[in-house]
Structure 1
Amino acid sequence: MLKTCIALIVFVLTGYQSVAKKIVVKNNTELSSANEIAQPGDEIILQNGTWTNVQIKLSCNGTALLPIYVKAQTQGKVIINGESALYVGGAYIVIDGLLFTDGYAAKNAVINFRINNDKVATHCRVTNTVINDYNNPKRLDENYWIALYGQNNRIDHCSFLNKKNMGVLLAVILNDDRSRKNYHEIDHNYFGIRLPLASNSGEIIRIGVSEHCEFYSNTQITDNLFEHCDGETEIISVKSCGNLIKNNVFKECQGGVVLRHGNNNIVLKNIFYGNNKTGTGGVRIINKGQWVVNNVFYNCIGVGFRSPMSIMNGVPNSPANRYLPVSEVVVANNSFINCTPISFCEGSDAERSVPPKNVQFINNTFYSNTQKKLYNTFDDMSGITFAGNVASNFYNQKLMNGFATDILLLKKVSYIAIPYSKGVFNNVVSDSLQIISEQKNIPILNKKPGAFNEANMVAVIKNAATNCGTIWFKKDDINVVQLYTRILCKTTDDIKNAITSNNQQNIEIVLTATNYNFKTPIQITKNTIITSNQKNSINLIFNDTNAAYLLELKAGKSLQLKNINLNIAMVTSKAFVVTDTSQSSHHNKFYVANAHFSNVVATFFKASKTNVLDTVKINNVTFNNSQAALFLFNDETDEKGYYNVENLICSNNTFNNINGTILSVLRSGKDESTLGPTITFTNNSINNGNTNNPIIHFEGVQFSTIKNNVFKNANTNGTLIQYKDAVRAQHIIKYNQYLQSGAIIKNKYVTE
């Protein structure tokens, strides 16, 4: 009988294969026609070339044994650009080998597993496909790259890079029964290079939303590599029940896996490789029934919500969009190596006042030769049971019962090292807990503490290195360093020609004259250095009081002013330099070094609303006789947690006779999802100056350091420095000298 069935299946398949068609299409019209006639087993081949402004809709239906393939003729050679999108609403369709780049999908998702809101995809697959820098032109125009509806769909061996505008990269949607208990598989993908968004909605993956948090999604996120995913504090945001996050590597990502809403989720056998990068975290635990088991946290140095692990306090009678209390949670057999302290009862405040209960924290190991403190506690700990946890004897903190110290040894496994002990340990895993573990398909909990399993670690690391993302797309190709072309500029026209020429992308403009008279503003459309070999002052002239700026730094570009002496008394526009005013999603960089500026009458540098600078550095610069503000990052007044600069360093500078604000940075609102801004103001000298506003004003800045500065006769009768914060921040102010200078207005987040 069995042989007869097998023979019948072979016969049927052979019959289908004999009639299956290969349909080659060269445009979207032909593709639409092919979709209408495609039968199980057919292959629709997209001809190599550039497909511009196409709305691809696939509603055909294959079968489990005979899916319909929609393939690039050559993987990576079908380039989809312009305002294009892909909609999948059929069954058993495999999409293979597409490249989305140089375009955007407006408010729609780039890949949408639904057509016209009424037909969702089932058992469909997107594989070997790339979305790279496919962003809406404006940063705050929000969209997803992938909207995952339906059930039993798979996304695998794809590469997703450089999402810059607002919106989750991959969203699992649970808006009706057709998309719940979906068992989607997201595996063997590369998620990389998401710069800090400077606002909320910078997640890589989100499963559900708060209003659907009680529904089961059962999505599986396994065997992926997340690298430099720094969009916001949540890399994966889980807002539903029954999901599995397993065997992933999170490499140098500022954020972590956040079990934000929903119950009974599992985080298993992942590697969080922080490599001592600021803000690198691990797992944040909220809600009921979460299991975090057999994970490795290596050199993760995030703090607060970004701690390597944080177990949160909850809100009494919490609405869905806040923090339900933590209960029935298991954290077991994890290893922490040279990490910052983990957090218990994190976020405790007047609202989040319910501490965790029925939490089992067992068999975890902590190794350190850098950190003296293992954990922070912020509320009542009686609801957490500690047992079988082992810490190296480097920690000098008095540990609670349930922690023992021991001499831990390190076992090198690829680029990480796992701690283990030669000691003999009693089994602290109860029979009931072991039964639950087996029901959740979690391997038997080990009575030895820690996550040491060399074979599993090798497999996870090897997979991340060799089997994540598309083979044909080399992510390193997008980071090729280009040299700067040096151009001598004697006149203003020379400067304009250097910038507008199509011959070079990176230019170094060398000013060789002593006077430059500008008739119109200049837009910096290339990565540009402006410098001079002259020691004498160079006069810039731009007599237009109605103009918004002299120099506008366009989106995605960097500007450096270095080794230069400029007199800008005759620059009478509203600002000397501004960033892109188009609200672009592309980021900027701005550097000033070894320079001298005198007679500033217009705002020296102003960040335009919704523009983001990754880095601003001002080093070894002298400003003399300023009648205007120097550095303004204070246009984000929407109270949504937006801000303009991620990292600002102002060091070793001299400010003489400054009658305006030196630095003002605003991040308004109470959003807690972002890391920045981070401001460093050190080793500067401020001599003489008065203004009606504070010399330095920080509102909503997350991290700041003001250290080793000298303030002399600065705002003597006014405010020198002012701090304002609506959410928790960390400010350090120390080792400064204040000589006949104004007041410092501090808050509880300022330490000296």
Structure 2
Amino acid sequence: MKKIFLILLLFVSAVFAQSKIVISNISKLKDAVNTASPGDTIQIKNGKYDTGGSVRITNSGTTDKPIVIAAESVGEVELTGDSYFDFRQCANIVLEGIKFTSTDYTVIKLQACNNIRITRNIFKLKETSSLKWILIGGVWNDPTAMSSYNRIDHNLFEGKTQPGNFITIDGSPEPTYKSSQHDRIDHNHFKNNNPRAVNEKESIRIGWSELSMSSGYTTVEYNLFEDCNGDPEIISVKSCDDTVRYNTFRRCQGTLSLRHGNRSVVNNNYFFGDGVEGTGGIRIYGDDHKIYNNYFEGLKGTKWDAPITLTNGDYDGGSSYSKHFRINRATIVYNTLIYNDHAFEIGYTNNGNYSKPPRDVVIANNLVVADKNKIVDVITQPINMKWSGNIFYTENSAEMGADFTEAMVLNTDPAIIKNNDLWFLSETSAAINKSAGDYTFVDKDIHNQTRNAVYDVGADEYSTDVVYNLPLTEQEVGPFARTVTTVENNIKSIPKSIILSQNYPNPFNPISNINYKINDFGHVKLSVYDVLGKEVLVLVDEVKSPGYYNIIFSGVNLTSGVYFYRLISGKNIFTRKMILLK
């Protein structure tokens, strides 16, 4: 018994060596952010504050011991007036739980930072002129200072009225012209970006024209976009090798646009028009993009804003980066389009200004059901477009819009059924096992179900298994989301071992983060125990793929004290301790 008490005493002493600094005035906050040590938590007492300008941060934590700047309660610390944070060449800092209502300031600037996390904040700025709300980039006079591996997650962005973006990802200036890399934007709620501007009011902009040939490796995933109508491009991607996946778009007038750059991937997203005019899907330019496993329903956009928009370009490669580059070698496969006003629009010329039609595009194994207009509207004939394995079904006044062989497009009723406001394949569907070609990168469907030896046509693979990746609701995103598990974005790097990291902040009240890594596919269980060994919470209990995971854990229903959290993966068991202080 004495030995157990001594272990607990040593643990508590070690934890408290990491300071908790309680702040109730701005001058102390400005001092604390740059004097804090790795592992420290700076807690801002609930209330309304005006920082009177920049809170400049040049300090850094470490990978295992980030510095945490957090509100006493999520959303109960309000920064108003001239308040903003300026992170300068920092690393491993978490900013959590603050409500920003500032006026005409970019409230978070990350200048050549890495591993900064902006989480569970509320952004409702009172802007009166053009403004970027969050900006990630380099240093304006140092082309060698780079930004990377930052994360913006579980925030609410609401009520944009002026030009500028909710989130802007830039990069280093000339002559480097390199985009910030490996940033992740996930589990945020973006809503009410109105009214419409002609340009420069995208909800998210990734890169810009001069950076567009550099690789960003940005991942935008698990976000909910509602009524984001401020720009013809809901998201504008202007760099290479980016990924946009697992997002839900509702009533957003415009498109997710791969505006510049090459080799990006758009997969497993939901687009719902809800009958609103101008609602669109995906528009692309450039080379070698992959568009697959997306679901489009009830969209009413056309020309620039059709569900799948392949306009002509006005440029065929070179250094005039503001041009619209011709589409080359895009792969558009396994998408489902249901009852939209239009489906595929190909070769729009912008009143004769764009003369370079799409070239070497593959359109295969897509499922379309339409009750009006042309499914395929060809304004300019594409060059060497390859169609195969598609199923298009016309009802009422809908037309095919082009001549196809049955190998290219089969016009038959796919026998889909509606369940929980989504259309699925029925067990008698003509789409089952009817795909053509070899697209092994689409090994799962939009619901994360494994595809069979011969894949089904469309985003849904017929299955009676549990359905995952349903359209997002506000319960799964934003600062008050229920506990979620999320996979880190660098899926190309499989961990070499299983690791359960120390939670942070620690001590905590009531929110903390638990990170773990697994190196093999298998069942994972992560539970919380009290000091008597009683299991009080189960955070994870399911099969997981190899990867990096993060849990946002709430102890709101637990009493203050010492707790243990245990990870079981296969035959491996790891246990760590944490302290809840209320």
Of structures 1 and 2, the one scoring higher in RCO (CA 8 A, sep 6+) is 2
For each residue in 1:28-56, what CA deviation from the matched residue of structure 2 results, as whole angstroms up to 9, or x when unmatched?
Answer: 21012112221111000111111113422
Question: How far apart are 1:186 and its partner, in Å?
Answer: 0.4
Q: Secondary structure at the match of 2:360?
A: strand
Shift in CA distance, 417/274, structure 1 to aligned 2, threshold 3 Å: same
Instruction: Answer yes or no: is 1:403 the counterpart of 2:395.
Output: no
Question: Residue 477 of structure 2 is aligned with which of 446, 468, 484?
Answer: 468
Paired position in structure 2 for 1:280: 279
Which residue identity lines up with residue 405 of structure 1 in the other structure?
Answer: N
Separation in 1, partners of 2:94, 2:261: 31
Alignment match, 1:451? 459
What is the identity, as a one-letter code, of the residue corresponding to 1:100? F
Structure 2 match to 1:27:
25
Alpha-carbon distance change, 453 to 83 in structure 1, aligned in 2, over 3 angstroms: farther
| Structure 1 residue 61 displacement after superposition | 1.2
- Please state if 1:128 is matched with 2:120: yes
Q: Distance in 2 between matches of 1:338 and 1:268?
A: 20
Q: TM-score, with normalisation over the residues of structure 2?
A: 0.72
Contact 2:425 2:461 in 1 (8 A): no
Within a 5 Å distance, the mapping from 1:325-404 to structure 2 comes to 325-341=326-342, 342-347=344-349, 350-368=352-370, 370-394=371-395, 395-397=398-400, 399-401=402-404, 402-404=408-410
Distance 1:51 1:200, change over 3 A: same
Structure (1 or 2) with the larger CA radius of gyration: 1
Unaligned segments of structure 1, at least 5 residues: 1-9, 115-119, 474-752
Shift of residue 255, structure 1, vs aligned partner: 1.1
Paired with 1:365 and 1:72, the residues of 2 have a C-alpha distance of 48
Is 1:112 equivalent to 2:109 in the alignment?
yes
* Distance of 2:293 and 2:28 partners within structure 1: 51
Matched with 1:45 is 43
**1:172 aligned residue (169, 172, 190):** 169
SS at match of 2:470: helix
Tell me the amino acid that sits aligned with residue 126 of structure 2.
N
- Alignment identity in percent? 26
Query: Relative to total residues, which structure has the larger helix share, 1 or 2?
Result: 1
| Contact in 2 for aligned 1:223/1:464 (Cα 8 Å) | no
* 1:413/1:454 contact within 8 Å kept: no
Q: Secondary structure at the match of 1:460?
A: coil
1:600-679 → structure 2 map (5 Å cutoff) = none
Q: Which amino acid in the other structure matches residue 224 of structure 2?
A: L
**Structure 1 residues 49 and 23, CA gap change in structure 2 (3 angstroms):** same
Cα gap change, 1:12 to 1:296, in 2 (>3 Å):
farther
Q: CA deviation at 1:152?
A: 0.5
SS class of match (1:242): coil
Q: Which deviations, in whole Å up to 9, do the C-alpha atoms of 1:206-229 show, x marking residues without a partner?
A: 101111110100100000000000
Q: What is the letter of the counterpart of residue 397 of structure 1?
A: M
DSSP-derived class of the 1:174 partner = coil
> Structure 1 residue 414: deviation in Å?
2.4
How far residue 233 of structure 1 moved from its aligned partner, in angstroms, is 1.1
The alpha carbon displacement at 1:465 in A equals 4.0
Partner of 2:30: helix, strand, or coil? helix
Q: Give the 3 Å change call, closer, same or farther, for CA 386–443 of structure 1 in structure 2.
A: farther
| Residue matched to 1:144 | 132
What TM-score results when the alignment is normalised by the length of structure 1?
Answer: 0.56
Contact 1:16 1:41 in 2 (8 A): no
* 8 A contact 1:223–1:460 mirrored in 2: no
Contact 2:257–2:282 (Cα < 8 Å) also in 1: yes
Q: Distance in 1 between matches of 2:254 and 2:10?
A: 51
CA distance in structure 1 between the aligned counterparts of 2:383 and 2:248, rounded to whole angstroms: 33
The AA in structure 2 aligned to 1:315 is D
TM-aligned CA deviation for residue 178 of structure 1: 10
Q: Which amino acid aligns with 2:455?
A: K
Matches within 5 A, 1:402-421: 402-418=408-424, 421=429
Shift of 1:192: 0.2
* Structure 1: 4+ residue segments shifted above 6 A: 10-15, 435-438, 441-446, 454-457
What corresponds to 1:592 in structure 2?
A: none
Deviation, 1:464, is: 3.1
Instruction: Rate the CA distance shift 1:462–1:325 in 2: closer, same or farther, 3 A.
Output: closer
- DSSP-derived class of the 1:327 partner: coil
In the alignment, which residue of structure 2 is the partner of 1:522? none
Q: Distance in 1 between matches of 2:400 and 2:435?
A: 25
Distance 1:468 1:129 in 2: 12
Alignment of 1:212-291 (within 5 A): 212-291=211-290
Q: What CA distance in whole angstroms lies between the structure 2 residues aligned with 1:324 and 1:12? A: 62
1:324 aligned residue: 325
- Whether the 8 Å contact between 1:281 and 1:301 is mirrored in structure 2 is yes
Name the CA distance, whole Å, in 2 between partners of 1:197 and 1:306.
14
Residue 95, structure 1, aligned to residue 95, structure 2:
yes
Kindly state the Cα deviation for residue 158 of structure 1 after the two structures are TM-superposed: 0.2
CA contact (8 A) 2:177 2:214 kept: no
Partner residue in 1 for 2:64: 65
SS in 1 for 2:73: coil
> What is the alpha-carbon distance in structure 1 between the residues aligned to residue 9 and residue 378 of structure 2?
67
1:136, distance to aligned residue in structure 2 (A): 2.7
Which range moves more in the overlay, 26-35 or 464-473? Answer: 464-473
Pairing of 1:559-574 with structure 2 (within 5 A) = none
Change (3 A) 1:179 1:313: closer
Q: Which residue of 2 aligns with 1:661?
A: none
Distance 1:333 1:59, change over 3 A: same
